[in-house]
Amino acid sequence: MEKNLEIHTISKVDICCGRTSINLDGLSDLILDNASEKLDSDPSHTHYEDTICPDSPIIDKIINEMICAFKGATGFDIELTDRWSHIHEKNMSTTLHDHYPSDISSAFYVSVPDNAGQIVFHPSHNRYHPARVSIPPEEGMYLMFPGYLDHSVTRNQSKEKRISLAFNFNILQGQQ
Protein backbone atom coordinates (compact mmCIF):
# COMPACT_ATOMS: atom_id res chain seq x y z
CA MET A 1 0.00 0.00 0.00
CA GLU A 2 1.25 3.47 -0.89
CA LYS A 3 2.57 5.25 2.22
CA ASN A 4 1.26 8.63 1.04
CA LEU A 5 -2.28 7.35 0.63
CA GLU A 6 -4.86 7.57 3.40
CA ILE A 7 -8.22 5.85 3.18
CA HIS A 8 -11.32 7.41 4.73
CA THR A 9 -14.43 5.26 4.49
CA ILE A 10 -17.48 7.52 4.17
CA SER A 11 -20.09 5.00 3.16
CA LYS A 12 -20.23 1.30 3.82
CA VAL A 13 -23.21 -0.96 4.34
CA ASP A 14 -22.81 -4.50 5.61
CA ILE A 15 -25.52 -7.12 5.67
CA CYS A 16 -24.80 -10.08 7.94
CA CYS A 17 -26.23 -13.40 6.78
CA GLY A 18 -26.38 -16.39 9.09
CA ARG A 19 -28.18 -19.69 9.48
CA THR A 20 -29.55 -21.09 12.68
CA SER A 21 -28.67 -24.47 14.10
CA ILE A 22 -31.91 -24.51 16.11
CA ASN A 23 -34.65 -27.06 15.40
CA LEU A 24 -37.61 -25.05 14.03
CA ASP A 25 -40.21 -27.84 14.31
CA GLY A 26 -43.55 -26.41 15.39
CA LEU A 27 -42.52 -22.75 15.03
CA SER A 28 -44.64 -22.12 11.91
CA ASP A 29 -47.72 -23.54 13.65
CA LEU A 30 -47.09 -21.41 16.75
CA ILE A 31 -46.86 -18.24 14.65
CA LEU A 32 -49.93 -19.11 12.58
CA ASP A 33 -51.91 -19.89 15.77
CA ASN A 34 -51.22 -16.30 16.89
CA ALA A 35 -51.77 -14.69 13.48
CA SER A 36 -55.06 -13.05 14.48
CA GLU A 37 -53.24 -10.91 17.06
CA LYS A 38 -52.24 -7.85 15.01
CA LEU A 39 -49.70 -5.34 16.27
CA ASP A 40 -51.86 -2.39 15.24
CA SER A 41 -55.45 -2.23 14.01
CA ASP A 42 -54.91 1.11 12.24
CA PRO A 43 -54.49 0.40 8.49
CA SER A 44 -52.49 3.63 8.07
CA HIS A 45 -49.84 2.37 10.51
CA THR A 46 -46.86 0.51 9.05
CA HIS A 47 -47.43 -2.43 11.42
CA TYR A 48 -50.99 -3.02 10.18
CA GLU A 49 -50.10 -6.29 8.42
CA ASP A 50 -47.77 -7.54 11.16
CA THR A 51 -48.73 -9.95 13.91
CA ILE A 52 -47.29 -10.48 17.35
CA CYS A 53 -44.21 -12.60 17.78
CA PRO A 54 -45.34 -15.10 20.41
CA ASP A 55 -43.30 -15.98 23.46
CA SER A 56 -41.41 -19.19 22.82
CA PRO A 57 -38.18 -20.84 23.99
CA ILE A 58 -37.36 -21.48 20.31
CA ILE A 59 -37.65 -17.77 19.47
CA ASP A 60 -35.63 -16.85 22.56
CA LYS A 61 -32.86 -19.21 21.37
CA ILE A 62 -32.96 -17.68 17.87
CA ILE A 63 -32.63 -14.17 19.32
CA ASN A 64 -29.73 -15.24 21.56
CA GLU A 65 -27.99 -16.96 18.66
CA MET A 66 -28.29 -13.78 16.56
CA ILE A 67 -26.98 -11.58 19.39
CA CYS A 68 -23.98 -13.90 19.90
CA ALA A 69 -23.25 -14.13 16.16
CA PHE A 70 -23.39 -10.33 15.81
CA LYS A 71 -21.01 -9.90 18.77
CA GLY A 72 -18.63 -12.44 17.25
CA ALA A 73 -18.66 -10.73 13.85
CA THR A 74 -18.55 -7.10 14.96
CA GLY A 75 -17.45 -6.99 18.59
CA PHE A 76 -20.63 -5.07 19.50
CA ASP A 77 -23.15 -6.08 22.15
CA ILE A 78 -26.77 -5.53 21.11
CA GLU A 79 -30.09 -5.72 22.91
CA LEU A 80 -33.51 -6.59 21.51
CA THR A 81 -35.97 -3.67 21.31
CA ASP A 82 -38.84 -4.96 19.12
CA ARG A 83 -40.08 -8.19 17.57
CA TRP A 84 -42.99 -9.24 15.39
CA SER A 85 -44.13 -11.90 12.94
CA HIS A 86 -44.80 -11.39 9.28
CA ILE A 87 -46.98 -13.74 7.24
CA HIS A 88 -47.07 -13.25 3.48
CA GLU A 89 -49.88 -15.03 1.72
CA LYS A 90 -50.10 -15.37 -2.07
CA ASN A 91 -49.58 -12.01 -3.86
CA MET A 92 -48.53 -10.16 -0.70
CA SER A 93 -45.44 -7.95 -0.67
CA THR A 94 -43.97 -5.24 1.53
CA THR A 95 -43.27 -1.73 0.28
CA LEU A 96 -40.05 0.20 0.74
CA HIS A 97 -39.35 1.07 4.38
CA ASP A 98 -36.67 1.20 7.05
CA HIS A 99 -36.54 0.61 10.80
CA TYR A 100 -34.86 3.82 11.92
CA PRO A 101 -34.10 4.71 14.73
CA SER A 102 -33.16 1.10 15.52
CA ASP A 103 -29.44 0.47 15.13
CA ILE A 104 -29.81 -3.06 13.75
CA SER A 105 -32.78 -4.72 12.06
CA SER A 106 -33.16 -8.34 11.10
CA ALA A 107 -35.32 -10.83 9.27
CA PHE A 108 -35.47 -14.49 10.25
CA TYR A 109 -37.10 -16.92 7.81
CA VAL A 110 -39.27 -19.61 9.38
CA SER A 111 -41.05 -20.98 6.30
CA VAL A 112 -40.02 -20.23 2.72
CA PRO A 113 -41.93 -21.98 -0.09
CA ASP A 114 -40.62 -21.78 -3.66
CA ASN A 115 -41.36 -18.44 -5.39
CA ALA A 116 -42.18 -16.75 -2.07
CA GLY A 117 -40.41 -13.49 -2.92
CA GLN A 118 -37.11 -11.93 -1.90
CA ILE A 119 -35.93 -9.18 0.37
CA VAL A 120 -34.51 -6.28 -1.64
CA PHE A 121 -32.12 -3.75 -0.13
CA HIS A 122 -32.04 -0.24 -1.57
CA PRO A 123 -28.84 1.48 -0.46
CA SER A 124 -29.06 5.19 -1.20
CA HIS A 125 -25.45 6.23 -0.83
CA ASN A 126 -25.07 7.07 -4.55
CA ARG A 127 -27.99 8.78 -6.28
CA TYR A 128 -26.44 8.15 -9.71
CA HIS A 129 -26.26 4.41 -9.21
CA PRO A 130 -29.30 3.31 -7.25
CA ALA A 131 -28.14 -0.27 -6.72
CA ARG A 132 -30.57 -2.83 -5.43
CA VAL A 133 -29.43 -6.02 -3.82
CA SER A 134 -31.87 -8.95 -3.71
CA ILE A 135 -31.34 -11.84 -1.36
CA PRO A 136 -33.46 -14.96 -1.74
CA PRO A 137 -34.61 -16.19 1.68
CA GLU A 138 -34.06 -19.71 2.94
CA GLU A 139 -35.65 -21.47 5.88
CA GLY A 140 -33.54 -20.92 9.00
CA MET A 141 -31.60 -18.02 7.47
CA TYR A 142 -31.36 -14.64 9.14
CA LEU A 143 -30.17 -11.27 7.88
CA MET A 144 -28.96 -8.44 10.11
CA PHE A 145 -28.54 -4.95 8.67
CA PRO A 146 -28.50 -1.27 9.65
CA GLY A 147 -31.91 -0.03 10.78
CA TYR A 148 -31.65 2.94 8.40
CA LEU A 149 -31.26 0.71 5.32
CA ASP A 150 -34.26 0.91 3.00
CA HIS A 151 -35.66 -2.47 2.03
CA SER A 152 -38.73 -4.07 0.52
CA VAL A 153 -40.05 -7.58 -0.10
CA THR A 154 -41.15 -8.79 -3.52
CA ARG A 155 -44.49 -10.48 -4.13
CA ASN A 156 -45.11 -13.98 -2.81
CA GLN A 157 -46.00 -15.97 -5.96
CA SER A 158 -46.48 -19.21 -4.00
CA LYS A 159 -49.85 -20.55 -2.90
CA GLU A 160 -48.21 -21.28 0.47
CA LYS A 161 -47.47 -18.75 3.21
CA ARG A 162 -44.01 -17.33 3.73
CA ILE A 163 -43.43 -16.80 7.45
CA SER A 164 -40.72 -14.61 8.87
CA LEU A 165 -39.84 -12.96 12.14
CA ALA A 166 -38.51 -9.43 12.41
CA PHE A 167 -36.32 -8.11 15.19
CA ASN A 168 -34.88 -4.70 15.98
CA PHE A 169 -31.82 -4.25 18.16
CA ASN A 170 -29.84 -1.35 19.55
CA ILE A 171 -26.12 -1.30 20.18
CA LEU A 172 -25.46 -1.04 23.90
CA GLN A 173 -24.25 2.37 25.05
CA GLY A 174 -20.55 3.09 25.03
CA GLN A 175 -19.85 0.97 21.95
CA GLN A 176 -20.99 3.22 19.11
Q: What is the model's pTM?
A: 0.87
Domain ranges of the chain: 16-171
Shortest CA distance to 119 belongs to which of 90, 149, 89? 149
CATH architecture of the region 16-171: Sandwich (2.60)
Q: Which residues pair with 111 in a beta bridge?
A: 163
Which helix (H) or strand (E) segment is 67 a member of? Answer: helix 57-74
Q: What is the pLDDT of residues 49-102, one digit of tens each?
A: 678 888 999 999 999 999 999 999 999 999 999 999 999 999 999 998 999 999
Look at phi and psi of residue 139 and say left if phi exceeds 0, alpha if psi is from -120 to 50, else beta.
Answer: beta
User: Residues 10-54: pLDDT tens digits?
Assistant: 777 889 999 999 999 999 999 998 887 655 554 444 455 678 888
